[in-house]
Amino acid sequence: MERGVRLLVSMGSVAILVSSCAGGAEEQPSTPSPEAAEQTDRDVEPEELLAEMSLEEKVGQLFVPYTYGESATTENAADVSANQAAYGVDNAAELIETYNVGGIIYFDWSGNFASGSPEQVASLSNGLQDAALSQPNGIPLIISVDQEGGPVTRIGEPVTQFPDAATLGATEDTALAEEAAAVGARELRAMGINQNYAPVGDVQITDDNPAIDQRSFGDDPGLVAEMTAAQVRGIQGENVAASVKHFPGHGNTDVDSHFGVPVVDHDRSQWEELDAPPFTAAIDEEVDSVLVGHLVYPELDSTETPATLSEPIISGMLRDEMGFDGVVVTDALDMEGVRESYSDDEVAVLAIQAGVDQLLQPPSGEFVTQYEAVLDAVAEGELTEERVDESVLRILTLKKELGLFEDPFADEAAVSDVVGIPEHQDVADRAAGTGNPG
């Protein structure tokens, strides 16, 4: 699928001040440092860049942690303490410098949106990219968020707020679904966010589903497939990576994988009929990423290994049978659905062995454990460096496709021209069924 016009950004926007969590002020650089500026406007060949990377740099690219603070170089005492506890560093810039992580995921609870200002979010994104581009390899970050709409909306107003998928699905209007996704993605990119963990491709098969419920477009696999495909087009048309979730399907569970291990008793034919269509539709739209859930499907993997760690499900079904060769990302690794029966160091290694590319949201205090476990697995022959290379090449290729090697920075001075504008609110109102259908 051909991507939309890139939202090119200025590197000359004025500096702004944003409040820290403690009520002080942290000045954010709004122009790249000289080191970072040298790493923009590059025509990078991912294979050549990969060949120049150390094993430690490669392994760092596999991880997408969160960090505390509303700036990349926060000095706020509470944020520094939290980052030290989680990673042994003071702030995001130090984490990037130390471990060469491939991405960062944003949350409100980690203080990333403490000021509530879209300009602050753009400033945070720019600070993170500055730190990444200032490293010797100059690899930009994938900066991500869960901005589905409805209950899973990480960034509040004045960012345009969209209804949940069930409300949008009830319209059965795929054009509106695509338009809503495009508007949301346009605003994310304006704030320097280049990946959205959306859309939800789960079919709401049971009403007793605490994890999905209103996050699903509905109970009709065909409709959910059409709406999912439309949202993939909308997101990726704005040069933001979409990530359809939760493969192989979280729609027929009565257990929330945040707190337990859901078991889905669908056999292969039931899965193909009920769960697979939205994921197949997303892959047909060349979705950039598939997020795999912590879900046990005994009929798809007789060992009853959670899908996140299952080679038959990821490498066998998703890659070999369905033909997906994009980036595979785990659901959050701090969820009980994957920690209940496996140690944190096992999880990281088993996920990569199964065919995963990105390890999302390591448990607090366990990032270093997981990072070192992957390094040790290579040293001990449990993982080959060639297997790590496969994942890193996919990640670098996605970064190139998103234009991040050319310019990953947001234009802080132009954020208010994009985020929360009346035209976008009109789309949100129509999606919620309260606007003028036109």
**DSSP-derived pairing of the beta strands 142-145 and 195-196:** parallel
Catalytic residue among 288, 331, 357, 407: 331
Cβ–Cβ under 8 Å, residues 294 and 271: no
Cβ–Cβ under 8 Å, residues 328 and 334: no
Active site residue 284: no
Q: Per this entry, what is the length of the chain?
A: 438
Cβ–Cβ under 8 Å, residues 49 and 43: no
Neighbours of 385 (CB within 10 A): 13
Q: At what angle do helices 344-354 and 367-379 cross, to 10 degrees?
A: 50
Side-chain-side CA neighbours of residue 132 (13 Å):
26
Q: How far is CA 41 from CA 9, 36, 101, 171, in A?
A: 12, 11, 21, 42
Residues with catalytic function: 331
